Amino acid sequence: MKLLEERILRDGKVKEGGILKVDAFLNHQMDIDLFEEMADELYRLYVTENVTKILTVEASGIGIACIVGQRFKCPVLFAKKTKTKNIDGAVYSAEVESFTHGTTYKVIVSKDYLLPSDRVLIIDDFLANGAALSGLAKIVNDAGATLVGAGIAIEKAFQPGGEMLRKKGIRIESLARIKSLREDGGIEFC
Amino acid sequence: MKLLEERILRDGKVKEGGILKVDAFLNHQMDIDLFEEMADELYRLYVTENVTKILTVEASGIGIACIVGQRFKCPVLFAKKTKTKNIDGAVYSAEVESFTHGTTYKVIVSKDYLLPSDRVLIIDDFLANGAALSGLAKIVNDAGATLVGAGIAIEKAFQPGGEMLRKKGIRIESLARIKSLREDGGIEFC
């Protein structure tokens, strides 16, 4: 998506260790006009899929997910992060390993809000190693719901998550796919 | 706001210790149609205030804040929760005591995105003891920006936050104000 790529080039900042900071418009300050354009594009891509529920994970996926939910006229569900080891039976849960922070956390979704009849579109701001998306896909699967695919704002295509999950048969549509982040601050798209 | 009160009566659940669970439509599964009605009402209340920025705190305020941001056609900024003690100089920060969890955390906002020229509307899902809202108001003040007020989905008027902050001169508009939560599950509005 040209508009998002241009915005990444203009306002994104490349930090050491392959980190791309986009907190000017995506995951701290949020540009809602941009989110509307992104949501329109994701709606166009998934409009035939009869989506009944948007699923994301707190915190930075929630904003985009809500604007996408407007388009599909369906509820938006966000998985909660928790460190609690003992989760009661009323939730679906998955372990997510954070490569950035070197920690593992659990994401949980109440069983009340994810039904076998649901056709679920997962929305997130970033796809890199695919840990969060794998966890959300597992939760959809555990609920017996149908995963129609994922809509991602920025995919770091030089990290393995996208390829790994596409190989498993999951449809992934990323609005900007980054091929490389150079140490001089350069950003190259696929 | 009648629509929200009716929804709380229909889908809200009263738990022990004055807890109101509204995760069917507000802070786990999110009803975006309802959020649009709430955003319309908050826009009506604050339309003359020339709002330039919406401020909320992760995670459950983000969804409502984004839909409100659409109405005001301005960026939405969410404060991040962190346990890091040493915060560098590039952020405004405030301590927030969580009465529910008995813990204290810090909320931070990058100095890049809150300017003295900003006219800020704070949005959150709940107001009870006022700790989060106080922290956000401090951050707006530290930035030298103007706080035009707060828009809250549900205020627990039997807890002291609302009165305490209104006495400080902060305009607070709550879409549903709860007078009491009874042990038998009854909910009474102001």
* Whether domain A2-189 has CATH 3.40.50.2020: yes
Q: pTM of the prediction?
A: 0.96
- pLDDT at position A165 over 70: yes
pLDDT at A61: 96
Chain B environment of A15 (Cβ under 8 Å): none
Closest CA to A149 of A5, A46, A58, A52: A46
A69–B113 CB contact, under 8 Å: no
Average pLDDT estimate for A93-113: 89
Confidence at residue B112, expressed as pLDDT on a 0 to 100 scale = 96
Phi then psi for residue A44, to 5 deg, are: -60, -40
* φ/ψ of residue A12, rounded to 5: -75, 150
Question: Cα(B128)–Cα(B156) distance, rounded to whole angstroms?
Answer: 5
Q: Give A45→chain B minimum CA distance, Å.
A: 21
What's the CATH number for B2-183? 3.40.50.2020
Closest-approach residue (CA) in chain A for B59: A59
Higher per-residue confidence, B94 vs A86: B94
Residue A98 has pLDDT above 90, yes or no: no
Q: What is the pLDDT of residues B71-80, one digit of tens each?
A: 999 999 999 9
Average pLDDT over residues A110-128: 97
* Distances A43 to A61, A65, A151, B53, B128 between C-alpha atoms, Å: 16, 11, 9, 27, 37
**Whole-number pLDDT of residue B99:** 74
Q: How, if at all, do strands B76-82 and A29-30 pair?
A: antiparallel
Collect all residues of chain B within an 8 Å Cβ-Cβ radius of residue A70. 32, 36, 67
Q: Which residues contact B172 (CB under 8 A, 6 or more apart)?
A: B127, B133, B149, B150, B152, B155, B162, B165, B166
Contact at CB, B76 and A63, closer than 8 angstroms: yes
- pLDDT at position B103, please? 86
Hey, where are the domains in chain B? 2-183
Nearest by CB to A70, from B32, B65, B77: name it: B32
Tens-place pLDDT, residues B47-84: 999 999 999 999 999 999 999 999 999 999 999 998 76
Q: What is the pLDDT of residue B175?
A: 98
Interface test with B, best of A33, A38, A62 (most B CBs within 10 A): A62
Instruction: Given the cut 0.90, state whether the ipTM is greater than it.
Output: yes
**What does the buried/exposed string (b/e) look like for B139-151 if buried means 16 or more CB atoms within 10 Å of the residue's CB?**
bbeebebbbbbbb
pLDDT in the model for residue B88: 64
Of B28, B69, B109, the CB nearest to A32: B69
Over residues B28-37, mean pLDDT: 98
Q: What is the pLDDT of residue B188?
A: 96
Whether the predicted pLDDT of A86 surpasses 90: no
pLDDT at residue B100 tops 80: no
Backbone angles phi, psi at B168, to 5 degrees: -80, 0
Residue A181 has pLDDT above 80, yes or no: yes
Distance separating alpha carbons of residues A21 and B90, to the nearest angstrom: 14
Distance of residue B76 Cα from the nearest chain A Cα, in angstroms: 5
CA–chain centroid gap for A155, Å, is 9
The pLDDT assigned to B84 comes to: 66
Instruction: Decide: residue A74, CB within 10 A, 0-12 exposed, 13-18 middle, 19+ buried.
Output: buried
How many CB atoms are closer than 10 A to CB A186? 10
Q: How large a percentage of chain A has pLDDT more than 70?
A: 96
- pLDDT of A87 reads 61
Partner-chain residue, chosen from B59, B70, B78, that has the shortest CB–CB distance to A32: B70
What is the pLDDT at residue B94? 96
For position A8, what pLDDT does the model report? 98
Q: What is the mean pLDDT of residues A84-103?
A: 80
CB of A70 closer than 8 Å to CB of A37: no
| pLDDT bucket at A39, cuts 50 / 70 / 90 | very high
Residue type, A33: D
3 state DSSP class of B46: helix
CA distance B17 to chain A (A): 20
Query: Residue A103 has what pLDDT?
Result: 86
Three-state DSSP string of A75-96 = CEEEEEEECCCCCCCCEEEEEE
Angle at B147 between CA B60 and CA B1, to 5 degrees: 55
- Number of H helices and E strands in chain B, helices first, is 5, 11
* pLDDT score, position B64: 98
Judge whether residue B2 has pLDDT over 90: yes
Whole-angstrom distance, CA of residue B30 vs CA of residue B33 = 9
Contact A78 B33 (CB under 8 A): no
What does the pLDDT look like over B117-148, one tens digit per residue? 999 999 999 999 999 999 999 999 999 999 99
What is the number of other CB atoms lying within 10 angstroms of the CB of residue A165? 18
CB contacts, 8 Å: B59 with chain A: 58-59, 62, 78, 80
Model confidence at B184, in pLDDT bands (50, 70, 90)?
A: confident
Q: What are phi and psi of B181, to 5 degrees?
A: -115, 115
**Is the sign of the CA dihedral B88, B89, B91, B94 positive or negative?**
positive
Q: Is the pLDDT of residue B17 over 90?
A: no
Nearest CB among A23, A69, A113 relative to B32 is that of A69
- What one-letter code names the amino acid at A171? R
**How many percent of chain A have pLDDT more than 90?**
86
What span, in angstroms and rounded, lies between the C-alpha atoms of B80 and B91?
A: 11
List chain B residues with CB under 8 Å of A33: 73
Average pLDDT over chain B, rounded to whole? 94
Would you place residue A14 in the very low, low, confident or very high pLDDT band (cuts 50, 70, 90)? Answer: very high
